[in-house]
Structure 1
Amino acid sequence: MLPIGDFSDLHDRVLSVLSSSEATPPSTLYHYTSAAGLLGMIQGKSLHATHYAHLNDRVDGIFGMSVLEKQIDTLARDLAIESTGLPDTRYKPSYFQDGNDLFVCCFSSKFDHHGQWMEYGDRGQGYALEFSSHGLATIGRSHGGSTQPRLLKVLYKKDEQDKLIAHAKELTLAFIKERAGSCSSKYEKDVFHSNCLRVLAENLYLYCFAMKDPRFADEEEWRLCIPMDRKAEEQISFRSGKYGITPYIELCNHFSCSTNRSHLPIVNIYPGPNVDEYSAKQAWRLLKWKTSAPGHMQDYSSLPIRR
């Protein structure tokens, strides 16, 4: 029977097919925020990635987890895995138990969008920051976790979510077929199958946070997802937020977030429809002079949004 370490081949295969299936982002993405949020990013030269349990959607992650668990449970039944004699957790990955943590920074491909202004842009009194997607894809690499961050397109349609998981399942079944002859008993086969499903689930875990209820599809969201293992827990900070004490991590444009920070990959900044255009441009002129802030202040939004 295969020792635990020999499942690295399956891990690499599944990760490869998942990575190749990721959508290519548009050249720029938008992050809607308040004036305080903009100041924090410019002065701190960092983005805050928030712990997934403190995002606006109260079932964030849970929705994707439920999609994945149903698929894994179905596969376990198809493989006739019996739990007798196996650990209680069976094929459940550690993430479904006490889990590593995941932090998320959210963006949208939609420019000057009413819903984004109302929900995230301080009801039109905030700003839309246009980021270089290429810059975002590399900015989180100093977080110190064992897994690199991913810039993922959020999937809203059930068939898209199922298709992503199906590709990884097919690879896992092919691996099981290749190696099944190494098991000499039903118990060994169950343990082998359970370990394969654990590898499958742990590779898909990150993608659970890029699955949402189809009723959110209008947001056209992209997510910078940063897995955080226990070795990097010293990078976690806390602030007071809408949902109480909120854990977050700083994402910087330099390998060391503590020194020599360079500016974020901001291309343009758009004042909201309820921001006074003249005062916003004067404030930006002075802020840019003071901080050498990146990007250019553009004309404010003309959407007719009430305060």
Structure 2
Amino acid sequence: MNGVIVDLLHLSRSRLDNNLDVPHTGRLQRSGATSYIEGLDEGSGRMADSNRACAGQEVEGLPPHFYVPREGELLYHYTSIAGARGILAGDALWLSDFACMNDPDEYTYARDCFLEVYRDRPVFVDMVPRLLATSALLGLENNTKMFIGCLSPTDDDPGQWERYGDGGTGCAIGTDARFLVDWAGVNVRRVVYDRDGLDRFVGAGLMMLQEEHELEPDDREALLELAQFFVSDLYAFKRPQHRSEREIRISRLLIRDAGVASGFSDHGGNCPEGHVDALPVGVREGRYGPTPYVALPLSQGDRKGIRSLTLGPSFPGNRPADADELIASCPPSIEIRRAEPRS
């Protein structure tokens, strides 16, 4: 099980202050993190087939929201022709403040479910780990903000084409999943839409904190680190009615900073190869007003993240000139595909 715990830590790129790194790995291996994994895995067979059938390898012993890519797997971002041109030109994908996205109350849903299970006490938890769980939750909300990008495991989803692919006239950009996991400095999670799965997640996390407290009752620093790691994954859970999206979410945790115009600063990220540099934070005009964002690079040296461009089933709509420019801008390394036309 120790190797599983190491994998779990590597998969959790985004930490509350981006400094919760390898030094505590040994402590976590000895802690209640084993129960965290086992508690999440117990009963996972009851998860909805659509949730467990998402792309990405299912690894025995890891919870359902943890994502391990298959070799050669691509994840797709649906967008308009203009959006695709911007991504290709900048070789970057915008990660935006989650509160300015389509469902800004989704974290509120996960937080409320967390508090409900927390109050119902499905497992015994002493006062100290309970207080530190609360402290971690408040710290997450008051001091940080999650910036996210939404991806899909497939480039032939009619709902995604309609909602995000400009009614089918846009594109889906395929990015190498392994690049995102190993080099981009983001957290990659398979979104879970199952309420039972969320309840198991909270119960297992509380058990993890209790067992760590029993093992090291005087090490509050380690316990708070575990609590931060635990509550930051609340962003991987959404309401059941959205399950058709089958979202794979990439995220980066930024620090609230009143001293800068955007209100946020990025302190960099972590990946298996080491630390990833901080990104500048910009503000764009989004659907719901001014939206802070970071432009996540999709290449690093000779490593290229973008692998394919899928043209929508109604591509290019009434914009043939824009479509010609988009296709002409694609380097030879990007495979151009065409989605099946709608009948």
TM-score by length of 1: 0.73
Task: Give distance in 2, aligned partners of 1:70 and 1:262.
Answer: 48
| Cα 1:294/1:106, change in 2 over 3 Å | farther
Equivalence for 1:232: 266
The equivalences for 1:127-206 within 5 A come to 127-141=171-185, 149-179=186-216, 199-206=225-232
The AA in structure 1 aligned to 2:247 is E
Task: Give distance in 2, aligned partners of 1:129 and 1:97.
Answer: 32
The one of 92, 107, 111 aligned to 1:65: 111
Name the SS of the counterpart of 1:109 in structure 2: coil
Give 1:276 deviation, angstroms. Answer: 3.7
Task: Give distance in 2, aligned partners of 1:79 and 1:15.
Answer: 15
Give 1:96 deviation, angstroms. Answer: 4.7
Answer yes or no: is the 8 Å Cα contact 2:312–2:338 preserved in 1: no
The AA in structure 1 aligned to 2:289 is G
Q: Does 1:283 align with 2:325?
A: yes
The AA in structure 2 aligned to 1:34 is S
Task: Give distance in 2, aligned partners of 1:116 and 1:296.
Answer: 20
Answer yes or no: is the 8 Å Cα contact 2:98–2:104 preserved in 1: no
Equivalence for 2:293: 248
Percent of residue pairs bearing the same amino acid type: 21
The AA in structure 2 aligned to 1:229 is I
The one of 244, 258, 274 aligned to 1:218: 244
The AA in structure 2 aligned to 1:232 is D
Equivalence for 2:75: 29
Equivalence for 2:165: 121
Task: Give distance in 1, aligned partners of 2:308 and 2:89.
Answer: 16
* CA displacement 1:67-87 (0-9 Å, x = unmatched): 2233334449954649xxx99
| Cα 1:98/1:157, change in 2 over 3 Å | same
* CA displacement 1:209-258 (0-9 Å, x = unmatched): 11001111111110001112356377211100100000000111456xxx
Which structure has the bigger radius of gyration? 1
Answer yes or no: is the 8 Å Cα contact 1:284–1:297 preserved in 2: no
Give 1:100 deviation, angstroms. Answer: 1.0
- The Cα RMSD (Å) is 3.6
Structure 1 unaligned blocks of 5 or more: 1-7, 142-148, 184-191, 256-260
Give 1:207 deviation, angstroms. Answer: 1.2
Name the SS of the counterpart of 1:101 in structure 2: strand
Give 1:164 deviation, angstroms. Answer: 2.6
| Cα 1:23/1:162, change in 2 over 3 Å | farther
The equivalences for 1:13-92 within 5 A come to 13=31, 20-21=62-63, 22-26=66-70, 27-75=73-121, 78-79=124-125, 81=127, 91=135
Equivalence for 1:107: 151
Task: Give distance in 2, aligned partners of 1:207 and 1:276.
Answer: 38
The AA in structure 2 aligned to 1:166 is G
| Cα 1:139/1:119, change in 2 over 3 Å | farther
* CA displacement 1:97-122 (0-9 Å, x = unmatched): 51212110111113311110111111
Give 1:303 deviation, angstroms. Answer: 2.3
Answer yes or no: is the 8 Å Cα contact 2:191–2:248 preserved in 1: yes
